[in-house]
């Protein structure tokens, strides 16, 4: 199966090992070499079991379109190549279908792409959850919270022109159908 997105074919021509658990030998050098090999082919996501590692490409890649969201929607986490959408969909479905609270932790050094990753996660949830005037209003408020926070808490650093200078914890509340009904951001 191939999905052609711009110049990328994200569902074929997989380079390296997509799940580092399968590296042989499993050494730090092999792990780094695998990340580099994948990165050089614009494959910025690599699994370590059910954790996804992303390498910031410092450029916009066409990996976050409606078509890609639809490919990852309701799919098994390992059915398609590693992607932040796969992790997000798995957490969303566990919350919605099994009524299990979920937590996605995004960590990394300055400039690693944590803020962008959180935006991608929120965009995915907004796309796959329900529709309706009240739901859409809540989604829009959640999506617009990032630019407001960035306006007051970002600064230019040596690694990033728009670096967040704060940590944040986002708690999004969902109803029994999996639709967002509100949220709280704490920094």
Residues at the annotated binding site for ATP?
A: 108-115
**Helical axes 84-98 vs 114-128, angle rounded to 10°:** 50
Half-sphere exposure of 181 (CA within 13 A, CB side): 6
Burial of 111 (0-12, 13-18, 19+ CB in 10 A): middle
Residues at the annotated binding site?
A: 108-115
How far is Cα of residue 80 from the mean position of the Cα atoms in its chain? 14
């Amino acid at each position: 199966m191939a999905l052609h997105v711009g110049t990328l074919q994200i569902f074929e021509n997989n380079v390296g090992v997509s799940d580092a658990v399968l590296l042989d030998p499993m050494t730090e050098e092999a792990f780094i070499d695998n990340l580099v090999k994948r990165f050089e082919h614009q494959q910025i996501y690599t699994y370590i079991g059910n954790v996804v590692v992303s390498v910031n490409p410092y450029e916009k890649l066409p990996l976050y379109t409606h078509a890609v969201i639809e490919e990852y929607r309701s799919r098994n986490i390992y059915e398609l190549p590693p992607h932040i959408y796969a992790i997000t969909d798995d957490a969303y479905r566990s919350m919605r279908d099994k009524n299990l609270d979920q937590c996605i932790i995004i960590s990394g050094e300055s400039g690693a792409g944590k803020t962008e990753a959180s935006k991608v996660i929120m965009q995915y949830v907004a796309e796959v959850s329900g529709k309706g005037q009240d739901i859409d209003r809540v989604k829009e408020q959640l999506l617009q919270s990032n630019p407001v926070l960035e306006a007051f808490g970002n600064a230019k650093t040596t690694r990033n022109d728009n670096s967040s200078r704060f940590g944040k914890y986002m708690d999004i509340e969902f109803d029994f159908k999996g639709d967002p009904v509100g949220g709280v951001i704490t920094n």
